[in-house]
């Protein structure tokens, strides 16, 4: 099955090369990797250019991660779609394991796995304790952990571009309400980098508000029509 991977990147010069290499270096490599530079102001685009024809790279005006991901999806040709965040890493056998799961059970629409959180080596020592997670390894129902059939993505509404910080939370809630069948591989598939520039740390108020909005939408959708 043809696999497409989408990465949205904004001011990701420090980490994007590692993220890309973790996708391209899979034991079963994807058929295409699309990276959308969301109007970065640093050297992100220069890093992307170094990969040449190994990736499909494009740049848009800064419009938010949801817009960038949707743009990448519009270009993707794969029957299966994966995602990686610009500062995270896929483990080497992520695609191999998830492809095996999806091929074994054709009724499963989306495969997830475990996520391992780690403090980025470049974080200064005085901040490392504060960033150290309470739980290192957990089940990962995160965008970067998911490999999903394109047909299932098409069946569910697209990512909500009005919720740039929490669009995947909102989407996954809608998807489950619409009967999305998921399964998990019992292995770590993503290493989530914790650093001072994580979006959830720098935009906490916006993320909290958008999470509340997403939960309200989910509750409203669950109510029976009068």
pLDDT band at 218 (very low <50, low <70, confident <90, very high): low
Over the stretch 6-36, which tens digit does the pLDDT of each residue have? Answer: 999 999 999 999 999 999 999 999 999 999 9
172-203 CB burial, b ≥16 within 10 A, e <16: bbbbeeeebebbbbeebbbbbbbbeeeeeeee
| CATH number assigned to the domain comprising residue 83 | 3.90.550.10
Is pLDDT of 225 > 80? Answer: no
Task: Report which of 111, 117, 115, 141 is spatially closest to residue 195, judged by C-alpha positions.
Answer: 117
Kind and range of the H or E run holding 98: helix 94-104
Kindly state whether residue 146 falls inside one of the protein's structural domains. yes
Kindly state whether residue 226 falls inside one of the protein's structural domains. no
**165, 127 Cβ separation under 8 angstroms:** no
Kindly state whether residue 151 falls inside one of the protein's structural domains. yes
For the entire predicted model, the pTM comes to: 0.88
**114, 97 Cβ separation under 8 angstroms:** no
Kindly state whether residue 86 falls inside one of the protein's structural domains. yes
Cα distances (angstroms) measured from residue 178 to each of 76, 157, 171, 182, 222: 23, 10, 10, 12, 10
Kindly state whether residue 136 falls inside one of the protein's structural domains. yes
Kindly state whether residue 184 falls inside one of the protein's structural domains. yes
Domain span at residue 144 reads: 3-221
Cβ burial, residue 162 (10 Å; 0-12/13-18/19+): exposed
pLDDT band at 74 (very low <50, low <70, confident <90, very high): very high
More confident residue, 154 or 220: 154
pLDDT band at 143 (very low <50, low <70, confident <90, very high): very high
Number of compact structural domains in the chain: 1
Kindly state whether residue 52 falls inside one of the protein's structural domains. yes
């Amino acid at each position: 099955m043809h696999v497409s991977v989408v990465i949205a990147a904004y001011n990701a010069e420090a980490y994007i090369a590692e993220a890309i290499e973790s996708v391209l270096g899979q034991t079963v490599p994807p058929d295409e990797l699309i990276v959308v530079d969301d109007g970065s102001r640093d050297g992100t685009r220069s890093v992307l250019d170094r990969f040449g024809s190994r990736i499909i790279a494009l740049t848009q005006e800064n419009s938010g991660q949801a817009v960038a991901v949707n743009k990448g999806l519009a270009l993707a040709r794969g029957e299966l779609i994966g995602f990686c965040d610009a500062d995270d890493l896929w483990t080497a056998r992520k695609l191999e394991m998830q492809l095996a799961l999806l091929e074994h059970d054709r009724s499963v629409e989306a495969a997830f796995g475990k996520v391992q959180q780690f403090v980025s080596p470049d974080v200064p020592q005085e901040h490392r304790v504060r960033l150290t997670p309470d739980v290192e390894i957990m089940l990962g129902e995160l965008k970067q952990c998911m490999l999903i059939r394109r047909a299932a993505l098409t069946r569910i509404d697209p990512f909500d571009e009005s919720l740039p910080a929490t669009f995947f939370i909102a989407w996954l809630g809608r998807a489950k309400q619409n009967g999305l069948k998921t399964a998990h591989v019992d292995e770590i598939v993503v290493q989530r980098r914790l650093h001072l520039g994580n979006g959830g740390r720098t935009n906490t108020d916006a993320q909290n508000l958008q999470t509340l909005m997403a939960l309200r939408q989910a509750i409203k959708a669950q109510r029976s029509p009068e």
